[in-house]
């Protein structure tokens, strides 16, 4: 029982008064025309270099796949 209260106190309670943090959604998804679908051009872009301070092609491909499916 104590562990359940500890989890609730550290995860649920702080989130009740918090706001959504929008640190990188604009550059990764909202304002990024390359994640609008899973196309050859978008895949080439994802694997062609460093994006947003690091090399993360699978991260970008996952956004492309989300856009394609949903």
pLDDT digit string, tens, across residues 14-63? 666 666 667 788 888 889 999 999 999 999 999 999 988 889 999 999 99
Residue 50's pLDDT is what? Answer: 93
Which residue's entry shows tokens 């989890």? 7
Buried b (16+ CB within 10 A) or exposed e, 7-26: eeeeeeeeeeeeeeeeeeee
- State how far the Cα of 36 lies from the Cα of 63, in Å rounded to an integer: 8
Which residue's entry shows tokens 């029982």? 1
């Amino acid at each position: 029982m104590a562990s359940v209260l500890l989890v609730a106190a550290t995860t649920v309670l702080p989130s009740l008064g918090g706001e959504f943090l929008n640190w990188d959604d604009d550059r990764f998804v909202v304002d990024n025309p390359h994640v609008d679908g899973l196309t050859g051009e978008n895949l080439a872009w994802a694997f062609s270099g460093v994006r947003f301070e690091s090399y993360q092609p699978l991260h970008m491909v996952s956004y492309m796949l989300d856009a394609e499916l949903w």
